[in-house]
Structure 1
Amino acid sequence: MQKQQLPTSTENQDLDELLVRGCNWVRDYLENNPEVNESDRTLCNDIIDNG
């Protein structure tokens, strides 16, 4: 069994950027689609676009 390594600083930045891009892409859908559960509407509220 191989020991799992912690992500590097660069990998964390890449993940953060991917989260921002994904939330920017889906934010309008989450906030406005009547079929989305109320609890899911705020999934991206803590993801801030720093770009």
Structure 2
Amino acid sequence: MLAHLVDLGDGAISVNMAKKDLLDDAGGVVSRAQGAWESAGLPDTGTVGV
């Protein structure tokens, strides 16, 4: 699965925005998005580097 994250200019986006983008890329399938998030080892809070 490929997630497209949007760079807001500072090289990082909020976790909430990244999760929304990933869910959109997963076609709205929550379990698929959650699995991808966990496999990538991304944090539960804060920001995600792009």
Relative to the length of structure 1, the TM-score reads 0.35
The structure having more radius of gyration, on CA atoms, is 1
Query: Which has the larger helix fraction?
Result: 1
